[in-house]
Amino acid sequence: MDGQTVEQIRTSLIRQLLFFDEQQLNVLDTYFPAYCTEPEERSSTAAWMEHYVAELEHIVSGLAGESPCLPDKVLIGSTVTLQQPAETKTYKICFPQDADPDSGRLSFLSPIGMRLLLASLHETVRLPAQCEGTDTVIADIRFEGDV
């Protein structure tokens, strides 16, 4: 990665950290309201978001070193190519307000988005609503930054 690219990636990831710092409670209240969401689902989603933030912090600190490297993990802002036995699908993982499933833009809060986020290149994942026995391999991950 060249210096400009590293700085663009760091800036994008820091924006995500700021988003979660400022908006995590609002996101939970909007998409997992306490009055109609099982407490376990809300708390597990909050813990999952905190885990994502911790991973982002680790990635950002690694980009500040002498030999910066972006790990091959699915992040918000990544375009992910999935290989299934019968087909290949590509999705962009984005924030909920930017989601448009018909054009392949999936919210990180969607069932598929939550399964893909932080998954690694070549990892096999089982996505919701799949037929039994069908595994999906993450064939490619391209981080494109801001979503």
Mean pLDDT of 83-87: 87
pTM of the complete model: 0.90
Considering only residues 100 and 147, tell me which one the structure prediction assigns the higher pLDDT.
Answer: 100
Measure the CA–CA gap between 22 and 126, rounded to whole angstroms.
Answer: 32
Tell me, what's the pLDDT at 63?
Answer: 87
Q: Which band of pLDDT confidence, cut at 50, 70 and 90, is reported for residue 131? A: low
93-115 pLDDT, tens digit per residue, is: 999 999 999 999 999 999 999 99
